[in-house]
């Protein structure tokens, strides 16, 4: 029995009056198979959507707009609504106005990494995981509230927006770690009991994981769509001159913050708590977190495929964030800031619609197609390669394609967001099956931590390249290399071996001949594949 099996995860059971309390009952895992608990978690996922959508779309757009307002051309003139000749103060020097947003992304991502290192070691040993989760989501909404008042056109306003953007990014990392750590709990509760074959058990848990992961992302997207619908109503109903158009973005951000705060507190009434593992006596939690992180790295030999998959996922996620950061800013700078703000609102809205369609479609098709889960991954990563390659074509000024026309942005938005959303669901599903029981927050924290600890490098490189070349399409070049690396690592992951290493799906179960399997389970699985 390995070291991780020394601890038995303990979960909550509902008391007779409907409230949630912590229990050490051996069958406490059954609570995670209850539909009302699952629905409460989905409501929590919905609550993160409004501000998450604003952080990815309207907040960078608003910062880009105010940066152009205060920026100057290389000749010292006021910046226009189109073109790349615009620079703003950054530290002791000046940077390209679009690079300014990417530099902010790099800084905030580095801060996320520090928080992730601390949180990933604490969460599994704390009885307050629910409180941390609800609190981080509520703060996520609170930090969005002030944007509606930031309508000035000066550097003080730009700095205030930038500081809030950093706080939003940091709380985003916290809730993602805690939210993702609940997925394995739902998946384990769905594992069939009794004498069932190893392959059948794994396939059923994977299918359950695909549903939980997709529905979590889907409800988050629904929350984002709700906020963006508000943005559309404001943009087309409130109107306003071109130079003040981004003020509509600011109002929509504040409203989204209010929605997130309200729904986070509502969902807190229904979602259960999780009892943490027992902390070794005499250990200070902060120092123990550092020790545990070091111990986690020593477990690479025990769970090599979990770590390999984690690295592949992290690199792909970096490419996704890099692509979307450059893509949305490129949309506005190419089509014109101010004049394209209303279209940008529709564009952002459609992005969440297509993302939802992508993940839901994969959830529906996966159990009904003969293709295994790894084949799906190859397909999604292949589309990422194609989209980044198309962006690289635009580096050559003699070519007429490469995100230089309106139709390209709309076509590739559909292609990229649908497959990327499905890939995110697939990653969360597979990774959950490779984790040792009781260390969910630690390992999901590892994914987040590695992503933010290295993601800032990609943002910094992209900002530096764009700042020095004045070409918004150059960042696609290093991105396509990273996608290729992620695809190569994905190829070497043996998912079946990784599940065996985790030693959680077959715990206490004997595997017998197929003639002695639970026939109904096998038949149900066979029918779902047709």
The whole-number pLDDT of residue 192 equals 66
Compute the average pLDDT of residues 50-71. 88
Pick from 379, 32, 385, 361: nearest CA to 221:
361
Lowest mean pLDDT segment, chosen from 385-389, 436-440, 473-477: 436-440
Both structure tokens of 35: 């539909």
Compute the average pLDDT of residues 96-102. 83
The whole-number pLDDT of residue 95 equals 87
Q: Is residue 467 scored above 80 in pLDDT?
A: no
The whole-number pLDDT of residue 388 equals 95
Question: What is the SS3 assignment for 376-410?
Answer: HHHHHHHHHHHHHHHHHHCCCCCCCCCCCCHHHHH
Pick from 45, 441, 20, 444: nearest CA to 212:
45
Lowest mean pLDDT segment, chosen from 31-35, 53-57, 221-225, 368-372: 31-35
Compute the average pLDDT of residues 307-336. 85
H/E stretch holding 21 reads strand 20-22
- For the chain, percent helix, then strand, then coil, each to nearest 5? 70, 5, 25
C-alpha distances (whole Å) from 393 to each of 22, 36, 419 are 57, 50, 21
The whole-number pLDDT of residue 518 equals 36
Q: What is the DSSP letter of 269?
A: T
Compute the average pLDDT of residues 332-337. 72
Compute the average pLDDT of residues 226-244. 69
d(CA 226, CA 442): 32
| Residue-wise pLDDT tens digits, 252-300 | 899 999 999 999 888 888 877 776 666 666 666 666 666 766 777 777 7
Q: Tokens 């991105």 sit at which residue?
A: 479
Q: Considering only residues 80 and 153, tell me which one the structure prediction assigns the higher pLDDT.
A: 153
The whole-number pLDDT of residue 319 equals 92
Q: What percent of the chain has pLDDT over 90?
A: 19
Burial class (CB in 10 A: 0-12, 13-18, 19+), 2: exposed
Q: How confident is the model at residue 448 (pLDDT cuts 50, 70, 90)?
A: low
Q: How confident is the model at residue 332 (pLDDT cuts 50, 70, 90)?
A: confident
Helices in 143-284 by DSSP H: which ranges?
155-180, 183-189, 198-238, 247-268
Q: Is residue 117 scored above 90 in pLDDT?
A: no
The whole-number pLDDT of residue 174 equals 79
The whole-number pLDDT of residue 336 equals 64
Rg of the chain on CA atoms, in Å: 24
| Residue-wise pLDDT tens digits, 263-275 | 988 888 887 777 6
Q: Report yes or no: 341 and 248 within 8 Å, Cβ to Cβ.
A: yes
User: Would you give the end-to-end CA distance of the chain in angstroms?
Assistant: 39
pTM > 0.75 = no
Compute the average pLDDT of residues 384-399. 92
d(CA 384, CA 323): 9
Compute the average pLDDT of residues 469-474. 80
Would you say domain 42-505 falls under CATH 1.10.10.10? Answer: no
The mean pLDDT value of the chain amounts to: 77
d(CA 82, CA 77): 14
């Amino acid at each position: 029995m390995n070291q991780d099996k020394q601890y038995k995860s303990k979960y909550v059971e509902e008391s007779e009056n409907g409230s949630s309390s912590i229990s050490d009952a051996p069958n406490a895992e059954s609570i995670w198979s209850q539909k009302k608990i699952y629905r409460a978690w989905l409501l929590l996922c919905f609550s993160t959507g409004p501000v998450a959508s604003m952080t990815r779309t309207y907040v960078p757009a608003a910062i880009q707009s105010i940066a152009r307002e205060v920026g100057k051309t290389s000749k010292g003139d006021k910046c226009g609504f189109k073109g790349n000749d615009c620079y703003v103060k950054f530290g002791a020097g000046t940077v390209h106005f679009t690079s300014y947003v990417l530099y902010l992304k790099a800084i905030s991502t580095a801060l996320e990494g520090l928080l992730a290192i601390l949180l990933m070691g604490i969460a599994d040993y704390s009885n307050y995981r629910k409180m941390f989760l609800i609190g981080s989501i509520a703060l996520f909404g609170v930090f969005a509230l002030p944007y509606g008042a930031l309508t000035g056109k000066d550097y003080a306003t730009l700095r205030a927006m930038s500081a809030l953007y950093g706080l939003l990014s940091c709380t985003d990392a916290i809730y993602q770690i805690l939210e993702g750590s609940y997925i394995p709990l739902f998946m384990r509760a769905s594992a069939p009991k009794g004498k069932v074959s190893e392959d059948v058990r794994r396939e059923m848990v994977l299918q359950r994981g695909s549903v939980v992961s997709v529905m979590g992302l889907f409800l988050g997207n629904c929350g984002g769509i709700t906020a963006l619908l508000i943005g559309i109503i404001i943009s087309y109903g409130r109107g306003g001159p071109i130079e003040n158009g981004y003020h509509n973005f600011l109002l929509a951000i504040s409203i989204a913050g209010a929605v997130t705060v309200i729904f986070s507190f509502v969902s807190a009434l229904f979602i259960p708590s999780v009892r943490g593992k027992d902390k070794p006596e005499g250990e200070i939690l902060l120092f123990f977190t550092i020790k545990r992180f070091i111990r986690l790295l020593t477990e690479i030999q025990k769970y090599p495929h979990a770590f390999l998959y984690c690295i592949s996922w992290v690199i792909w996620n970096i490419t996704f964030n890099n692509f979307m950061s450059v893509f949305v800013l490129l949309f506005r700078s190419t089509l014109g800031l101010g004049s394209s703000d209303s279209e940008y609102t529709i564009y952002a809205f459609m992005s969440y619609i297509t993302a939802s369609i992508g993940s839901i479609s994969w959830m529906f098709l996966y159990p009904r197609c003969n293709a295994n889960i790894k084949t799906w991954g190859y397909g999604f990563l292949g589309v990422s390669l194609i989209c980044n390659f198309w962006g690289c074509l635009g580096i050559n000024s003699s070519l007429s394609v490469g995100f230089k026309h309106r139709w390209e942005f709309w076509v590739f938005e559909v292609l990229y967001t649908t497959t990327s959303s499905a890939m995110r669901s697939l990653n969360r599903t597979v990774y959950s099956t490779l984790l040792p029981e009781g260390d969910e927050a630690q390992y999901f924290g590892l994914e987040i931590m590695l992503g933010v600890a290295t993601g800032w490098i990609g943002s910094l490189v992209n900002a530096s390249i764009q700042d020095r070349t004045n070409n918004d399409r150059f960042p696609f070049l290093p991105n396509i290399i990273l996608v290729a690396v992620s695809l190569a690592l994905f190829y070497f992951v043996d998912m079946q071996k990784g599940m065996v290493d985790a030693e959680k799906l077959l715990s206490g179960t004997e595997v017998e001949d197929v003639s002695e399997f639970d026939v109904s389970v096998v038949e149900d699985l066979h029918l779902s594949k047709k």
